[in-house]
Structure formats: C-alpha cells, structure tokens
Homo-oligomer: A and B are copies of this chain.
Amino acid sequence: MNSVKRACGNCNLRELCLPFGLSNDELERVDEMVTTRRKIKQGEYLYRAGSAFESIYAIRSGFFKTDVLLEDGRDQVTGFQMGGELLGLDGISTELHTCNSVALENSEVCIIPFSRLETLSREIRTLQNHFHKVMSREIVRDHGVMMLLGTMRAEERLAAFLLNLSQRFTARGYSHADFYMRMTREEIGSYLGLKLETVSRAFSRLQEAGHIAVQQKHVRILNIAGLKALMNRQPA
C-alpha cells in the first residue's frame, strides 16, 4: 500500500476508468477519495470469496482474473480484467466478495472505498451516472458470456474471446492484432466453458484456417473479418 496525490488526474487510463467525463474540479474530489494504491504480484489474490467487502478497485496496471468455485472443487473463471476496469462490484450486494480475484501478472490497483464512492456520487451527478453505467456494462458483458456459453461452438467461443481481447487492447492503445495473453489455456477454457485440450485444438484450427497465428501466449490476428464471420455462423 502507498498513498498518492493526484491519483486520477495524472493517470492515462482516466478516460476508461471511473473518472470518465469529469471536470477538473470533480477530478480533484475523486482524487481525494482514491488515496491508496496496492501492488499485487503475479499469482497473488486481490481479494477472496467470502472476505468482507469494503472497497472496489480500479486496475492501474496489470491483468487479473476473477473466479467462483463450487464446494465440490469445480471452478469457473468469470472474467479477465485489464487496466482501467473495476474489480469488486460483485461484493456490493451482500457486503462480502463472492469471487476470487487473482493477478495474472504483477499489477497495481487503486483502492476506492465504497462508502466514499457512494457519498461522492451523491454529490457529483456525472460520477453517479458513470458508475451506474459501469455496473450496467458489467451486466451486459455477462449476458454476452451467457450467450457464448449457451449457444456457441468451441471455435466461435474462442473467436469471440479473441475479438473481445483485441478490442480492449485497442482501447488501451495497444495493437489490436498482436498481443500476449496472460492467461493459460486452462483459464481460457474455464472462462469459455471448455477443457484446455479443446481450447488448444480450437487455436490450432483457427490457425489452420489462416485467421490467426499462435505461438503459445503470443497471438496475431490475421483476419478479423474471418473471425467475426465465424461467430455468426449457424450451428451445425
């Protein structure tokens, strides 16, 4: 943990993150709310299911996954998060975290005490509205995953996944067509409702079809249109 001044004002993720669309004045007030950061090493937990919820977290750098697990040991990755995205929204409802959040690379988050966020968003309309939009966006994203898990075949799921990553990398100023994935095949599989072998085969088939070039975690997208077309194929 370390405290900071001018957290948000200087952050280049500002426009992707919570302070989106705020005036300088308002930005300063948000800065007062976000006084501490926390570094999380690769493999460490940001929070665990069942622990008390007090804050949400904005990713300043790095990469995370969230997962839930059943009593019997089965688990499901519910999302991968990158810079500018918020973690911990699931904890608001019961004031307990309902999933685990693990850093997939060395990362840093800004700590946003939730009660202060509520106070401030009673005072700043723009902040309030934007926070609501962020929560709503998470719901929409989840519906997309449900769609994917409920109706798509393995290759379509992977195509959808890669397109989504690509688009999020683009929004952060990275190449849309050439990136390293931080997660393993098994984690991708868990997220997509597939086994790691199936994920691996799907990668191979997309490569054979000339849509992508893969080498371990390094992916290059060669034919975006092809991937998109794949997603909209009728099943069977």
Across the two chains, which residue of chain B brings its CB closest to A193?
A: B150
Interface string of A68-86 (1 = CB under 8 A from B): 1011111110100000000
Q: Please provide the chain A residues from 33 to 84 with a CB less than 8 Å away from any CB of chain B in the complex.
A: 68, 70-76, 78
Across the two chains, which residue of chain B brings its CB closest to A235?
A: B74
Copies of this chain assembled into the complex: 2
- Interface residues on chain A, number (Cβ under 8 Å): 51
Q: Which of A123, A136, A190, A233 has the most CB of B within 10 A?
A: A136
Partner of A143 from the list B90, B118, B121, B192 (CB cut-off 8 Å) is: B90
Q: Are A89 and B139 in contact (CB under 8 A)?
A: yes
Which residues of B have CB within 8 Å of A136? 89-93, 135
Across the two chains, which residue of chain B brings its CB closest to A231?
A: B70
Partner of A135 from the list B74, B78, B139 (CB cut-off 8 Å) is: B139
A201 on the interface (CB 8 Å rule)? no
Q: Are A78 and B232 in contact (CB under 8 A)?
A: no
Partner of A125 from the list B72, B122, B147, B235 (CB cut-off 8 Å) is: B122
Which residues of B have CB within 8 Å of A192? 150
Which residues of A are at the interface with B, using a C-beta cutoff of 8 A? Answer: 68, 70-76, 78, 89-94, 98-99, 118, 121-123, 125, 128-129, 132-140, 142-147, 149-151, 190-193, 231-235
28 contacts between A and B (CB under 8 A): A70-B147, A70-B231, A72-B232, A72-B233, A72-B234, A74-B151, A76-B146, A76-B147, A78-B146, A89-B139, A90-B143, A92-B135, A93-B133, A93-B139, A98-B140, A98-B143, A118-B125, A121-B122, A122-B128, A132-B135, A135-B135, A138-B139, A142-B142, A142-B143, A142-B145, A142-B146, A150-B192, A151-B193
